[in-house]
Amino acid sequence: MKVEIFRIDHSLPLPKYETKGSFAFDFLAREETIIAPHEISFVPGNIIVRCPKDFALLILPRSSTPRKKSLVFPHSVGLIDADYHGEKDEILIQVYNFSDTPVRVEKGERIAQGLFVKTEKIKFEEVRSPGEISRGGFGSTGQ
């Protein structure tokens, strides 16, 4: 499958899969960004992507980022919809600095990963009753 991509800074490489078994590709920081302690900030991801029909792009944290950089995603996962690909729609990586010191993200540093997922539109059908006896929630199955 081919995906249309617009790269903003051509001094940085196109995204790539780092290994043959990788499902996600890495986003590289387009510019140096300083994230203040206990603040949310955006790191420009250098690309605009046109998602293929029936696909969405998930923006996921890299597993090493909290340990190496003291950064996490305040929203857990980012979602790029099919209609988010205009000239000003650079993918921004939202991060939270949970440390007590500023964090520097260098230009070209791998800051997040992207995963394309197949999607399907559904139609909601309202019913008069949920139908089943409640099984509980929030850990209730492991009583």
E-state strands within 29-83: 33-35, 40-44, 47-50, 55-60, 71-72, 78-80
Which pLDDT belongs to residue 130? Answer: 83
The parent domain of residue 95 ranges over 25-120
Per-residue pLDDT for the chain (143 aa), expressed as one digit of tens each?
A: 899 999 999 999 999 999 999 999 999 999 999 999 999 999 999 999 999 999 999 999 999 999 999 999 999 899 999 999 999 999 999 999 999 999 999 999 999 999 999 999 999 999 998 877 776 666 655 55
What is the per-residue pLDDT for 26?
Answer: 96
In a domain, 143, yes or no: no
For residue 62, the model assigns a pLDDT of 94
Do the Cβ atoms of 96 and 72 come closer than 8 Å? Answer: yes
Which tokens sit at 131? 């139908």
pTM: 0.86
pLDDT of residue 132: 73
What is the spatial distance between Cα 135 and Cα 31, in angstroms, rounded to a whole number?
A: 49
What CATH number did the domain enclosing 57 receive?
Answer: 2.70.40.10
The structural domain count of the chain equals 1
Structural domain includes residue 130: no
Domain membership of residue 97 (yes or no) is: yes
Q: Does residue 12 fall inside a structural domain?
A: no
37 occurs within a structural domain: yes
Phi, psi of 28 (to 5 degrees): -105, 140
